[in-house]
């Protein structure tokens, strides 16, 4: 094989690997699970109403399970597409609530509360759901590209 072709393919492979690595890093920072401690403040009912509405505005729906843990389910299409995780709320003492969920949603909600503090999250991270979502997106992209290529080939567009 020609050394120039090998060199061009190696440069292309390194460029592609770099792009995929940056995309994985970007997606991981957005979709990893984090924890944020929100101070309740004075009016408990107003706090819970504001928090519930800010979570619902992102498309999450609360489950009907009873107990101290409140769970909000992510939209089904986002769970399928990118493996989006649920948001959970649990009491963290008498004056705070611990909210865990995907980084970009939980951070966005946490910005609306004065005194919100990120806490270390020690639970399991959603690695496999993110990988499945990435593979689904790549499969859709390859399938769409293949369909377009087949259409051009069958129609004789050159």
Which runs of consecutive H residues, i.e. helices, occur in the chain? Answer: 3-31, 44-56, 76-82, 103-110, 127-155
Residues 68-120: pLDDT tens digits?
A: 888 999 888 888 877 788 899 998 888 889 999 998 889 899 888 888 889 88
**Greater confidence, 28 or 98?**
98
Residues 127-143: pLDDT tens digits?
A: 888 888 878 888 998 99
* Domain assignment present for 155: no
pTM: 0.74
Q: Which domain holds residue 71?
A: 33-150
Q: Would you say 98 and 37 are in contact if contact means Cβ atoms under 8 Å apart?
A: yes
Q: Are 14 and 42 in the same domain?
A: no
* Domain assignment present for 156: no
User: What CATH code is carried by the domain that includes residue 43?
Assistant: 3.30.160.110
For all residues of the chain together, what is the average pLDDT? Answer: 87
Q: Long-range contacts for 71-80 (Cβ within 8 Å, ≥24 apart)?
A: 72/101, 74/102, 79/129, 80/133, 80/136
* Domain assignment present for 40: yes
Q: Are 136 and 60 in the same domain?
A: yes
Domain count of the chain? 2
Q: Are 44 and 120 in the same domain?
A: yes
């Amino acid at each position: 094989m020609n050394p120039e072709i090998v060199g061009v393919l190696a440069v292309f492979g390194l460029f592609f690997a770099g792009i995929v690595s940056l995309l994985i890093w970007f997606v991981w920072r957005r979709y990893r699970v984090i924890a944020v401690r929100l101070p309740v403040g004075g009016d408990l009912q107003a706090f819970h109403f504001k928090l519930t509405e800010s979570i619902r505005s992102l498309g999450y729906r609360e489950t009907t399970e009873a107990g101290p843990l409140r769970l909000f389910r992510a939209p089904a299409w986002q769970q399928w597409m990118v493996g989006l995780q649920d948001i959970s709320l649990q009491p963290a003492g008498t004056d705070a609530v611990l909210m865990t969920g995907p980084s970009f949603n939980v951070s966005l909600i946490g910005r609306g509360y004065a005194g919100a503090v990120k806490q270390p999250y020690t639970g399991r991270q959603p690695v496999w759901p993110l990988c499945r979502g990435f593979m689904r997106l790549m499969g859709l992209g390859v399938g769409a590209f293949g369909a377009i290529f087949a259409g051009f080939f069958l129609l004789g567009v050159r």
